[in-house]
Amino acid sequence: MTKDTLSMILLEDVLNTVDHSREKRKHFANLILENPALLPDLLNICAQVDDEISCRASWGLEFLCKHDLTAILPYLDQLISIVPNVYQHPAVRPMAKIFEYLSIAYYQKKNPKVRASLTTIHREKITELCFDWIITDQKVAPKAYSMTSLYLLGTEFDWVHPELKITLENNYNTGSAAYKARSRMVLKKIS
């Protein structure tokens, strides 16, 4: 058994103990923070989109990014190649949240490390994925995180705000109360 295979198996064993509780996700994120060499394996587990373990891996990845967003920066290509295949809501929500973290760090906080790593191609792909989440049958959280990301991305890409405005207005009447609240907030900023 190779060292990589062993670390993947150990990571999966730990992930099998992770639930949605903040305490377990934090413990798992700290494990990755203390062992950054595990991050590629974690992303490989996130890529197992048909397996429930990918959802738990995504929760851990989101918690990690919340506490140290720079940890994901060397792996943006891998992350962005995985996300289009993610379809289970418990995994989509954290991926949308990670994109929101990246967008806020890039556009609002102007984090130099994020600005140096998040390429135009990455930002264009995030734009595409966020629009997909807003127009497809997703729960409200990924839609809300996507609205924030798209609003910020629209400060750079001039076509985004008009498209976002049309999309939000068209879906407003059928959206939940939370969707409507976030839509109003974003539409007000666009106007």
Average pLDDT estimate for 130-147 = 96
Calculate the average pLDDT of the chain.
92
- Given a cut of 60, whether residue 2 has pLDDT beyond it is no
Confidence of residue 8 (pLDDT cuts 50, 70, 90): low
Whether the predicted model's global pTM rises above the 0.85 cut: yes
Average pLDDT estimate for 55-73 = 93
Confidence of residue 27 (pLDDT cuts 50, 70, 90): confident
Average pLDDT estimate for 23-39 = 84
Q: What is the pLDDT of residue 109?
A: 98
Contacts of 89 (CB under 8 A, 6+ apart): 138, 139, 142
- Given a cut of 90, whether residue 65 has pLDDT beyond it is yes
Q: What is the spatial distance between Cα 87 and Cα 74, in angstroms, rounded to a whole number?
A: 24
Q: What is the pLDDT of residue 104?
A: 98
Confidence of residue 7 (pLDDT cuts 50, 70, 90): low
Q: What is the pLDDT of residue 28?
A: 84
Copy the structure tokens of residue 2: 């190779």
Alpha helices in the chain (DSSP H): 3-15, 22-34, 39-46, 53-67, 76-82, 89-103, 112-117, 120-135, 140-153, 160-171, 177-190
